[in-house]
Chains A and B, each alone.
Chain A
Amino acid sequence: MFSLIYRRVSVLRLALFIAGYVWMLVIPSSQLNRGVYFDENALQPGQVNTYWNWKEVRDADVFLEQLERLRDSNATSEQRSQFLMNEFLKIGLSASTQSYEFTGIHKVINGTNAYAILSSPRVSGAEATVISASWLSRTNEGDGTLNLRGVATVLALSKFVKGYSLWARDIIFVISDGYMEGMQAWLSAYHGAPQSNLYAQSLELTSGVIWTAINIDYPGHSLSHLGIFHEGLNGRLPNQDLLNSFQYISRRTGVPVVIYDHKEEDSQLNWLPSSMQNHHEIKTYAAQARNLWRHVGFQASGRGSGVHGLFHQYRIDAFTMFALPASGPHGFHSLGRIIESTMRTTNNLLERLHASFFFYVLTNSDRFVKIGNFLPSAILISVAMMFGGLHVWVDAAWVWTNVTKGEMKEDEKKSVENKRLEPQPTATPHTAMVWVRRKRSVLDVLFIMIGTHIFGASTFFVLSSRWYNTVSFGPVVLFAVAYALPLVLRQLISQPQDHLAVSSLAPAHLVLKAFNLCLSSTVISIITVLNFSLAACLAVALGIPLSTSSPSSHKVVSLVKYSAYIVLGFGWILLGETTKRVIWNWDILGVWLLPFLCIVYFPLMLQAALVCII
């Protein structure tokens, strides 16, 4: 059985690779996904008569007018938060402000949040729901578009909910300053999780444990669709029941729901022949592939798709309702009804949302892929890599060599006898082609691997240091160092190859490759359950390249290969703005992508690069 697998392992690996990559490509097809459903029976979405009406719309309009005046007068964030706090106080809520300052490695960011707490009648205040809006909209990830209508909706909503006694938990209204940073400061003060580069004023008012949060983003004049943004920091996802309830309610209210800001109309299939453009299956695939691509972008980078993503780190289920800017037909009236109904659905919860509804890939607002239908794709590739690694490991132990019979030592004879294949008698009677066992230097290779990870860690410390981010030529210099240092070390350490020892000692590059493949495979398998998109990206980035690394007899070819691996592994630091964003995300929001790239991904690539030149 094992020998069968061993002999066919190359075919098996190829089959696994192909199966894995094809599976990844098939995930967006409608064959693998299914319609959404509700797992938590307590939710009962859309079962209530909503009370939000034109009076509340008028309130929202009035608030909007005041906010526009505030915008036109170029009010500082201090003045804005003071205004918002006063409005909350006039409504009769307890309200306060919170100022914060991030002394990050880029530049100092400061601002002031305003928040209010409705101590709901009759409840103990041990649980809470958050309704939030950030001052900047998420349009182009906080490019400066104001979320005035979102803020006006929150203000009108706070006035509205005050009039009812049906709330089962406290409701906290937060208007966070900036795009992401305001909410990060507010949440870290609320949960008492200090951050070394953040000064956040402690909160004057607190409530209980926050279970759910809804973030409202309404940058346009009116809205045509409502979009769901749900990815959190470091690839966390909210409980799917929350998203399902929202999309069900929204549809029932008459507002179409899309995922992200992807309207179905904008088709990108113009390059296909027209007969195929209109094919239902192809259209669905194209639309879902687009959604999935966006999802992978948000989840793999770990940056989250909006302000809601910050809540997930404190085990709060949250998402952003994004009102797609349009000239109609919906506005405050529909939005208010949908939010009210969604709030009342979450109000029905007696427990936190649980029921293991956290592993999913939304391919459309009402379709999702279950864990069993997407997870195996990355796992198959990881298995292929593991087989590859083990194969190389076994290969490293044996050499098919030409040995003169008289030269064969006793122990070698023994090992020849123990080997799997019989020595093949060859033409010359004095020599024989035999499988000879050789030693594999594990410790040396382990030191090399640990060395690469330490090297990766040191690049991480350089990248996240203040002075690196002040010099403009930093990336080029760091890349040059990362490129040259292993080469220099290689030259310094390399000993003249003892050709006589070749047959008794396995070449280091084989052992290194074996370990490298096994480690990468393990990393990918572990990450699949934590952050599937990242695991899939790793499977693509590492799968084939790491499996094909090998030294070349030609020095120049080796060097070209080495350079290619280094560019793959560390080239991202030359990307300018993108890299800056990654560093900012780590520094301010604590997104793990930067340390992951430096400490895990780059060293794995570096090991493959070393395989080529050792």
Chain B
Amino acid sequence: MLKTSLVIFLLLFNSVFCIKQAAEEFEENLSLKSLRDGRVTSSFSFKTLLRDAAPRDPRTLALDNDDSQHYTLFPLTLGQILRQYAITELHLTLNAGKWNYESWGYPDESGVGVGAELWAWMADGSPSSIDERWQGLRNALAGLFCASLGSLDEQRTTSPRQSFPPQGDLPDWGLPHELRHASHASEHVCTENLTPFLKLLPCKSLSGLATLLNPHRIFDADWHGIGLHVLWLPEGVEVRLNVQLVSDPLRISSTNKQDWSFHSLFDRKVDQACPIAKTSRVAVELPSSGFYRVHPEPLEIKDGQAYYNLKIANEAWNIGTMWPTDFEYPLSKPNQALVPFSVQRSLRGSTQDRGELSIVVTNHQQNTLQLRYLETMPWIIQFYLHTIRVHSDGVLKNDLISNISYVLPVAHSRPATFESILTLPGGSNLTFTMNVAKAFLRYTEHPPDAQRGWDLPPAVFTPLLQSRDDSIGRIYTPSLLVDLATPDFSMPYNVIMFTCSVVAFIFGSVFNVLTRKFVVVRLEPTEIQDN
């Protein structure tokens, strides 16, 4: 006992010591890219590194004297949450829109599933269970980001370890680490999420690249998302806040050109870099062909990227690209696909009790591709695994699906987790179908907007790397909407139901009274004794 507390004390002391000594670094980056369909993707990344710090050991949660949080750049509110629940790794994304992999390519930050997605790696061994800490974490983050993350409850929480491996390191405490993952497709991201997000930055939105984060423009973009990533690297604990957006200059401008600049995209310019940032850099990916002009003149051009260093004093940065000719939409598909495979997912069948989940995956490459396919489905959709059929180019080939693992759903409480590996021969088209049953809900379980249907979370596909240098990670499908059998909650039906119930009740009682004969049955005392 004494020994363990000594160890814990040493650990604690050590971490306190480390934090006190830690150097904190902040860097900001923005990369911009013109896309094939005339849109522009901008990816902001704000990184704060707490050098030589380590995540909190969950065993120290029992001691409750973790008062070592003195940060200069690292966001304190976030740090408190991380230490309170001893989170090793955390990823939170809030996105709006459907990421179009075919014409936009693979995103800089892979978490582009629609709505809210939260996943965290935590070590076991604390007095409170992992699920309790998970609940505390999502409630704390809900408060911090003004988002309905509290609804990521056990009805949406799963643990698909294979598809969401830790991106940093896991400390070697000799404790098992667990993953908790939840997503909520119908959560919308808006200004009330961005404001607390900006507060986590050392320069807020007063200077540096964060100046560009103008809510009016961000939330008008075709696709936008904010993300928070906390991971442990050998250097220390890294907090990465990122904003990604895909804007359409052709929609914003009145001309028919795809020209863009900071001013046209964000309605703002960058007056100066964040003074405490170690680096403040903008990278513009140069178009592969055609005439264009990048302005102002870049500092450096490397690997098809133009780099700018905002630390160099300038009169308000307004970086942009201009084209001499009008933009024309491409009439054919690109010769080389931007992503190695594309996925189409749909829930078919027009009845309210049965349906068919259908996935079509197309391999754009010539070599065989192996994909990990993950469905985390709320219990309202129940899979019939025996009806799985896999067709490759129209031919039934059930051997192309393997390694199926399935966690059964529990009605009214736990979602299903379905994981498998799909093998796609080169250039083939794979169709996966499975029959599903749609649940019949209790009437109190329907949401207030009952006739809208239920949003189902996106499926996740992860390629199993085969010694290729691909940086392709997870690919999210769009979410689905399912119609369950829904009572008409509107007034006329309520009136009909209510009246019918009353009439049935009165009729039943009156009928009983009229047709039954009530008599007093006398029992002989001996019979009572027998009984």
Contacts and interface: CB of A to CB of B under 8 A. Distances in A.
Interface of A: 39, 86, 89-92, 119, 121-127, 162-165, 191-193, 206, 208-209, 313-315, 350-352, 354-356
Nearest to A202: B360
B427 interface: no
Given A208-B481, A351-B450, A351-B452, A89 B331 contact: yes
B38 interface: yes
Contacts of B219: 122
B96 A354 contact: no
A122 B481 contact: no
Interface of B: 37-38, 96-98, 100, 114-115, 185-186, 219-224, 248, 250-251, 328-331, 344, 346, 348-350, 356, 358, 449-453, 455, 478-481, 483, 488, 490-493
Given A125-B478, A165-B251, A351-B450, A91 B329 contact: yes
Contacts of A90: 328-329, 331
Given A126-B480, A192-B358, A351-B449, A121 B250 contact: no
Contacts of A124: 96-98, 114-115, 185-186, 455, 478-479
Given A121-B221, A127-B481, A206-B346, A350 B331 contact: no
B95 to A, nearest CB: 9
A193 B478 contact: no
Contact of B455 (A126, A351, A356): A126
Contacts of A86: 331
A121 B37 CA distance: 14
Contacts of B114: 124
A192 B248 CA distance: 33
Across the A-B interface, the 5 shortest Cβ-Cβ residue pairs: A192-B348, A351-B451, A126-B481, A121-B222, A124-B114
Nearest to B491: A355
A163 B38 CA distance: 13
Contacts of B449: 350-351
B220 A165 contact: yes
Contact of A191 (B220, B222, B350, B492): B350
Contacts of B481: 126-127, 208-209
Nearest to A353: B451
A209 B483 CA distance: 9
A528 to B, nearest CB: 16
A192 B480 contact: no
A135 B250 CA distance: 31
Contacts of A313: 350
A303 B354 CA distance: 27
30 contacts: A86-B331, A89-B330, A92-B250, A121-B97, A121-B220, A121-B251, A122-B97, A122-B223, A122-B224, A123-B98, A124-B96, A124-B478, A125-B98, A126-B185, A127-B481, A162-B251, A192-B348, A193-B348, A193-B350, A208-B480, A209-B453, A315-B350, A315-B483, A350-B449, A351-B449, A352-B451, A352-B483, A354-B490, A355-B492, A356-B488
Nearest to A204: B344
Majority secondary structure, B binding face: loop
A132 to B, nearest CB: 18
Contacts of A314: 350
A209 to B, nearest CB: 5
Nearest to B492: A356
B488 A126 contact: no
Nearest to A39: B490
A203 B488 CA distance: 33
Given A121-B248, A206-B346, 7 more contacts: A92-B250, A92-B329, A121-B223, A162-B251, A192-B348, A351-B451, A355-B491
A122 B222 contact: yes
Contacts of A206: 344, 346
Nearest to A85: B331
Given A162-B251, A354-B488, A123 B331 contact: no
A314 B330 CA distance: 34
Nearest to B433: A192
Nearest to B329: A92
Contacts of B478: 124-126, 208
Contacts of A165: 220, 222, 251
A123 B97 contact: yes
A352 B348 CA distance: 18
A62 to B, nearest CB: 15
B113 to A, nearest CB: 10
Nearest to B355: A192
Contacts of B329: 89-92
Contacts of A123: 96-98
Contacts of B222: 121-122, 165
A447 B350 CA distance: 38
Nearest to A163: B251
A123 B97 CA distance: 4
Contacts of A192: 346, 348-349, 356, 358
Nearest to B483: A209
Nearest to A40: B490
Contacts of B483: 209, 315, 352
A315 B186 CA distance: 22
Contacts of A39: 490
B117 to A, nearest CB: 13
A350 B452 contact: yes
A162 B256 CA distance: 13
Contact of B493 (A193, A208, A356): A356
A355 B349 contact: no
Nearest to A316: B350
Nearest to A125: B98
Contacts of B450: 351
A309 to B, nearest CB: 15
Nearest to A89: B331
Nearest to B98: A125
B320 to A, nearest CB: 21
B42 to A, nearest CB: 15
Contact of B452 (A89, A121, A352): A352
A227 B40 CA distance: 43
Nearest to A205: B344
A163 B96 CA distance: 19
Contacts of A315: 350, 483
A119 B98 contact: yes
A535 to B, nearest CB: 20
B37 to A, nearest CB: 6
B360 to A, nearest CB: 8
Contacts of B356: 192
B490 A355 contact: yes
Contacts of B349: 191-193
A232 B100 CA distance: 35
A575 to B, nearest CB: 33
Contacts of B250: 92
A237 B330 CA distance: 41
Contacts of B330: 89
A400 B449 CA distance: 66
Contacts of B490: 39, 354-356
Contacts of B452: 350-352
A228 to B, nearest CB: 23
Contacts of B344: 206
A315 B451 CA distance: 12
A164 B450 CA distance: 29
A315 B358 CA distance: 20
